Amino acid sequence: MENENGLLNFKSLKQQVYEYLRKQMGKGNILPGSVINLNKTAKQLGISKTPLREALIQLEMEGFVRILPRKGVVVNVLTLSDIKDFYQIIGSLERAAVLSAFSKIERSKIKEMEKLNRKMKEAIDKNNFDIYYERNLQFHNVYLNLCKNTHLKKIVDNLKKRLYDFPRQKGYLKEWEEASIKEHELFLKLLSKGNIKLAADYIRDIHWSFEVQKNYIVKYYPLEEYQKALATILGER
């Protein structure tokens, strides 16, 4: 099988289907609360149902869809409770990553994060949320990569995809992004001074605190729309 550049694609068919579905979710072409029709999707992709089912099982394991008897495959809805749980998990894991990676966070790495944070500010000043989003992920990945725990990073990456690419929201809250940049600045100051525990605690207890960020969260996410979709899935009225 060849990709768009004419080069051989050695990924399994199941992995290619998985990535296709994830991309469609990120673009908003497959929305939370919608039903994925196996027959229609398999025909559209020109494949059998087997790799499609395998891809959907992986998506279910990651929490993106739910395979329901007699109802088909339903794309999960993001609830406020989900967001609260995700923040708690990400905060705890990123704290652990900071503690684990601290001895490897040299001055050059702090400068790298400072540069990324400046680029985030520049992006927001230009109302370019896509650039801001990518630089934000890169900022956190500096210490996540340094902790050398691939399982930890995989969990964090997956939860962030569910928070931000499920689908990617068209708008953003400038005041939230600006507050996040300031939080990064304080975090970097703590790292620079060698306050490892304070820096790690700050990531968990402030930056990834659901209660601290709640006002921004309820403004950013279309939770009423998600709730209506959830009610439809459960057959409620």
Looking at residue 43, its pLDDT comes to: 93
Give dist(CA 32, CA 225) in Å, integer: 9
- 132 — phi, psi (to 5°)? -55, -45
Query: Would you put residue 179 in left (φ > 0), alpha (ψ -120 to 50) or beta?
Result: alpha
Give dist(CA 219, CA 90) in Å, integer: 20
Residue-wise pLDDT tens digits, 8-38: 455 789 999 999 999 999 888 998 888 999 9
Looking at residue 225, its pLDDT comes to: 65
Strands 65-68 and 35-36: unpaired
**Smallest Cα–Cα separation from 234: which of 71, 84, 31?**
71
pTM of the model: 0.85
3-class secondary structure, 8: strand
Q: Which residues of the chain have pLDDT under 70?
A: 1-10, 223-237
Looking at residue 160, its pLDDT comes to: 95
Q: In what order do the strands lie in the sheet with 65-68?
A: 35-36, 72-75, 65-68
Rounded to the nearest 10 degrees, the angle between the axes of helix 80-101 and helix 129-146 is 50
* Residues 65 and 36 sit within 8 Å (Cβ to Cβ): yes
Other Cβ atoms less than 10 A from the Cβ of 80: the count is 15
Strands (E), 37-168: 65-68, 72-75
Q: Give the CA angle between residues 12, 18, 22 to the nearest 5°.
A: 150
Write down all domains in the chain, each with its CATH number in brackets: 13-78+225-233 (1.10.10.10), 80-220 (1.20.120.530)
Looking at residue 6, its pLDDT comes to: 41
Give dist(CA 132, CA 134) in Å, integer: 6
